[in-house]
Structures are given as structure tokens and as C-alpha cells.
């Protein structure tokens, strides 16, 4: 399973992706588009990957991203 502590380059990559989201695009549409992109990335892996392996990587990293977002929101609310 692939998890890691994001580096500054990873944070910049995520920020660059976020900057490309059209203003006003509904959240569910953003999620659907990004999920399709993840599916394409899984299909293009250079090593054999089972569906179970891909789902485990995606699920684990979704949980990490969710916790990070919740902490970020908590920090923002706490500083008001």
C-alpha cells in the first residue's frame, strides 16, 4: 500500500490541480471528474495492479486527505 508524508512538491501539485477547477463547478461534479481521473491513473500503472490493490491505495489516501481537510477546517475555525 502506498502512503507517504506529502512533500512540498506534492502540496504544490495538489494546489495546481485545485487551481484548475472551474469556479462554480458543483462539488459532486468535481468529485466525479477527479474519480474518473483516478480510474485512468490506475489503468495506466506501469506494474500489475489488482482492483483490490488500487481500491486499498485510494481508500487509505482518501482517509488521509479527509483527516487533513478536517484538521485544516478546525484550524481555520479556531483562529476566527
Tens digits of residue pLDDT in 19-34: 999 999 999 999 999 9
The pLDDT of residue 26 is 97
The pLDDT of residue 44 is 85
The half-sphere exposure of 49 on its side-chain side, counting CA atoms within 13 A, is 18
Weakly modelled stretches of the chain, pLDDT under 50: none
The pLDDT of residue 32 is 97
Tell me how far apart the alpha carbons of residues 68 and 61 are, in angstroms, rounded to a whole number: 10
Burial label for 58, CB within 10 Å (0-12, 13-18, 19+), is middle
φ, ψ (nearest 5 deg) of residue 35: -65, -40
The pLDDT of residue 21 is 96
Amino acid at each position: 500500500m502506498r502512503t507517504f508524508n506529502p512533500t512540498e512538491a506534492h502540496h504544490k501539485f495538489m494546489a495546481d490541480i485545485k487551481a484548475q477547477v472551474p469556479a462554480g463547478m458543483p462539488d459532486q461534479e468535481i468529485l466525479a471528474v477527479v474519480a474518473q481521473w483516478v480510474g485512468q491513473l490506475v489503468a495506466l500503472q506501469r506494474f500489475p495492479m489488482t482492483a483490490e490493490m488500487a481500491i486499498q491505495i485510494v481508500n487509505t489516501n482518501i482517509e488521509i486527505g479527509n483527516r487533513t481537510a478536517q484538521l485544516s477546517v478546525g484550524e481555520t475555525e479556531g483562529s476566527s
